[in-house]
Amino acid sequence: MGMNAGVVCHGPGRNGDAMRTILSLAVLGVLASGGLAQEGFAGAGIPFLPVTGNQWNGLLPISGVSSQTLEPPEAIPNDALQTDESGGLPTGQFWLRGEYLLWWTKGSQLPPLITSGLPGVSPLPGALGQTGTSVIYGNSDVNHGHRSGGRFTGGFWLDPCGTYGLEASYFFLGSRQTAFNTSSDSLVGSSFIARPFFDALAGTQNAQLVAFPALANGTNILTASGMGIASGDISASTYNRFQGADVNGICGVCSGCNYWLLALVGFRYLELEEGIAITENTSVNPVLPAGRPFFGGSIISISDQFDTRNNFYGGQVGFRGSVRRGRAFVEAQGKIALGVTNQVVDIRGSTSIASPGAAATVTPVGFLASGSNSGHFVRDRFAVVPEIGINAGYQFTDCLSVFVGYNFLYWSSVVRPADQIDLGLSGTQLPTDSRYNPAAGPARPAMHIRDSAFWAQGISFGLGLGF
């Protein structure tokens, strides 16, 4: 915190302590001169000259008192007069902090999205609950591991006493992406690939095939080359981005020679963006009948995209305090923000069917992103965002400190893409199904915006500067 000569301060700054030091030295001067004390110096308001360093100038003569040079008391070391109350907050009128963040975030639970199976062993290979079916993508957490980021903080005092100030902070975590891909050429020994779903019309588990290879026993070999029903590939990916900022007014509550406490009030902003994309390509054996539902000789491409965005806007209050011993310090902070989360969900899909000798037909409907749930959806929800943090560090100079810390942030209401996926499908909504009729029900997959809580936590390594 800053200190300005000639200003008497009673906030968290050090000017008040400087004045108290001067007064203490004056009292020591009076005690050192017993003769003067007997001649009327017991009263208040004794004029005196300020003490500079270790020099002792004594008291000025006043009316009715003979001039006398006082013997200086025992010298007081300079260090004892330099009381640093910064407690880790860089000294000076302005301060800057830079931090490296190593944080973890709450993962997103994916439903079972891609399966493998054993054709010939079960009547619906790849369907959940069937013998030989295994989930090869999904049914697990994503975006839950650690990642790097940064936080930058700057502030300044509005008064020379270090009582009132402003501070702004911005943080970000590096984008996290995951990717999955698998393929099958439909020859003997290749993988069977499917996408599981619950058939809302039949009331049973089912699966859409992506690749159906030939079987070793030859019962499903359709050509002399040994090709199966279809070859294909499928890929899935996710992304996650998280950042935020706040601006606060700060006010000194109390301070001492080895501690200080600040109150803060201000505005907080958070942003969380996430997405899931699934793309499949299937080449159907041309010996199968053309057209729906076999699509012999056709190339079918299907894509689904689920994106979410959350923006929090709210007011916040909190406290920050520090205790020091010598040049080492411990600083703790607690904040809570109340406001609104603007939640945005975007769902879109596409199906392209390129039949032999004909132009590709493209329909703006995918598999999980169908006509019954695709679109742009927006809503606002009340949210609470508390955050706590603690730092331990060392003040190398009045202008430089280093520290290591821990933070935990909680966000009560966000939308995430995996929560918006409905595995209940109706053949009336799927362009590759023989029952395709968008006007018919039931309207599955359904669109119901689902929200959940989110958190981020981790450690930080920082550098503070004051000037």
The per-residue pLDDT for range 194-221, each reduced to its tens digit, is: 999 999 988 999 999 999 887 766 555 4
Q: Are 315 and 336 in contact (CB under 8 A)?
A: no
Convert 107-141 to b/e letters by CB count within 10 Å (16 or more is b).
ebebbbbbbbbebeeeebbbbbebeebebbbbbee
Q: Name the nearest CA neighbour of 386 among 328, 284, 454, 324.
A: 454
CATH of domain 94-466: 2.40.128.100
What confidence tier does 32 reach under pLDDT thresholds 50, 70, 90? very low
CA angle in degrees (0–180, nearest 5) for 233-237-240: 180
CA distance 141 to 231: 29
Contacts of 52 (CB under 8 A, 6+ apart): none
Tell me which amino acid residue 161 is.
C
φ, ψ of residue 418 to 5 degrees: the values are -65, -30
Q: The tokens 């203490």 sit on which residue?
A: 24
DSSP state of 43: S
User: What's the pLDDT score for residue 33?
Assistant: 42
pLDDT grade, residue 224 (50/70/90)? very low
Give the pLDDT of residue 359: 83
What tens digit of pLDDT does each residue of 308-366 get?
999 999 999 999 999 999 999 999 999 999 999 999 999 999 999 998 878 889 999 99
Residue 217 is predicted with a pLDDT of 61
pLDDT at 13: 43
Give the model confidence (pLDDT) of 41-94 as tens digits: 333 332 333 333 443 343 334 344 444 444 555 544 443 333 444 444 445 689
Nearest one of 112, 223, 119, 232 to 182, comparing CA atoms:
232
User: Are the CB atoms for 143 and 274 separated by under 8 Å?
Assistant: yes
Q: Which residues contact 397 (CB under 8 A, 6 or more apart)?
A: none
In sequence order, which residues have a C-beta less than 8 Å from that of residue 239 and are 6 or more positions away? 175, 176, 177, 273, 274, 275
The closest of 426, 299, 409, 290 to 361, measured between CA atoms, is 299
Beta-sheet pairing, 204-211 with 230-256: unpaired
Binning pLDDT at 50, 70 and 90, where does residue 272 land?
very high
Portion of the chain with pLDDT greater than 70, in percent: 78
Residue 37 has pLDDT above 80, yes or no: no
Euclidean distance between CA atoms 376 and 379, whole angstroms: 10
In Å, how far are 138, 195, 202 from 114, measured between CA atoms?
Answer: 7, 5, 21
Best CA proximity match to 193, nearest among 162, 153, 142, 234: 234
315 torsion bin: left (phi>0), alpha (psi -120 to 50), beta (else): beta
Residues 6+ apart with CB under 8 A from 27: none
Kindly report, residue by residue over 436-462, the tens digit of the pLDDT. 888 887 889 999 999 999 999 999 999
Look at residue 378 in the predicted model and tell me its pLDDT. Answer: 97
Q: Are strands 146-157 and 141-142 parallel, antiparallel or unpaired?
A: unpaired
Query: What tens digit of pLDDT does each residue of 370-415 get?
Result: 988 999 999 999 999 999 999 999 999 989 999 999 999 999 999 9
Higher-confidence residue of 403 and 37: namely 403
pTM tops 0.85, yes or no: no
Alpha-carbon span 192 to 115, nearest angstrom: 8
The pLDDT confidence band at residue 38, using thresholds 50, 70 and 90, is very low
What is the C-alpha separation between 281 and 259, in angstroms, rounded?
Answer: 65
pLDDT over 90 for what percent of the chain?
58
For residue 298, what are its two tokens? 């056709």
* Beta-strand relationship, 230-256 and 164-184: antiparallel
Q: Look at residue 222 in the predicted model and tell me its pLDDT.
A: 52
| Coil/strand/helix, residue 213 | coil
Residue 62 CA, chain-centre distance (Å), reads 67
Unique residue bearing structure tokens 């505005």: 267
Tokens of 83: 């009381």
Mean pLDDT of 287-302: 85
The sign one gets for the Cα dihedral 450, 314, 456, 310 is positive
Q: What is the pLDDT of residue 226?
A: 62
Q: What is the pLDDT of residue 225?
A: 55
The two tokens of residue 448 are: 């119901």
- Mean pLDDT of all residues in the chain? 82
Look at residue 334 in the predicted model and tell me its pLDDT.
98
Q: Integer distance in angstroms from the first to the last C-alpha of the chain?
A: 9
Q: What is the DSSP letter of 399?
A: S
CA–CA separation, 56 and 45 (whole Å): 19
Distance CA 230, CA 248 (A): 61
* Domain parsing of the chain, residue ranges: 15-81, 94-466
Report DSSP state, residue 18: H
Amino acid in position 263 = A
Q: What is the pLDDT of residue 111?
A: 95
User: Could you identify the residue written with the tokens 């891609």?
Assistant: 114
**pLDDT at residue 460 in the model:** 98
**pLDDT at 2 > cutoff 80:** no
